[in-house]
Amino acid sequence: MAVTGLILIGFVIGHLVGNLQVFQHPDHLNGYAQFLHQLGPLLWVARIGLLVAVVIHIWAATVLTLENNRARGTPYGFKHTIQATLASRMMRVTGYVVLGFLLYHIAHFTMGAAQSSTFKENLPAYTMQHEYRVAGFPVVAAGAKVLDVHSMVILGFQSPVVALFYIIAVGLLSFHLLHGFDSLFQTLGLRSTRWAGGLRKVALWLCLAYFAGNLAIPGAVLLGKLSPRAVGISAAPAQR
């Protein structure tokens, strides 16, 4: 459970870093999305690997819960928590919400549910103004026709209901990560009493930063700070 949790933590952080390119010139996010699309089979290997990690993570959580219940034998007559944090006690609930959010998020953006007929009619293929680079290497050429993911993301959050659901779900995900990040060090034998307090503070600030980063995107859309094809037109050539 700790190993798959570490894999998933790495993914959600990387996913956020990629999405924050929406605040830059459209070439950045559109080039990034095209680069991922060009990976072809490798992208599907990564997706399948993440799916396997999610399944194993859920399976491990279920097995551990059942083993704990069997070891206890009879339920507690009175539950009184002394040291367990609220985040740890809410792991199961936040886990269910995160799973539901993950399925919705895939349907909304990855599977194209956010691409309404209005989007397809009014926002045709985007033409890259600059080449997109990864580690200094050009991976998407200037002039290439790519999907306008930049506008798609913005349009996807223009519904206050969708944006609010996303904010709440990401908040619960951040709460889930707070205990998960802290406890995986304990599971892997990397936490000691000497620096346990510092580790917990690092986990707290990491999760706050993660939530703030995810909040910024729908928040900026709702406040009118982001609009389709109207951000960063004079920005520097896209590099990463």
The CATH number given to 2-75+84-222 is 1.20.1300
Q: Give the CA distances from residue 68 to residues 63, 65, 85, 91, in Å, rounded to whole numbers and listed in that order.
A: 9, 5, 18, 15
More confident residue, 89 or 196: 196
- The C-alpha R_g of the chain, in whole angstroms, comes to 21
**What stretches of the chain show up as alpha helix (H) in DSSP?**
2-19, 26-38, 41-72, 86-89, 91-105, 117-122, 149-156, 160-187, 196-222
* In the chain, domain spans: 2-75+84-222
pLDDT (average), residues 180-208: 78
pLDDT digits (tens, 9 = 90+) for 133-165: 998 899 999 999 998 889 888 888 888 988 898
Alpha carbons 152 and 113: distance in angstroms, whole number? 10
pLDDT digits (tens, 9 = 90+) for 20-76: 999 999 999 999 999 998 998 998 898 888 888 888 888 887 887 778 777 766 655
Residue 219 has pLDDT above 90, yes or no: yes
Residue 119 has pLDDT above 70, yes or no: no
Question: Which amino acid does the sequence have at 117?
Answer: S
Tell me what pLDDT residue 17 has: 92
User: Is residue 61 within 8 Å of 95, Cβ to Cβ?
Assistant: yes
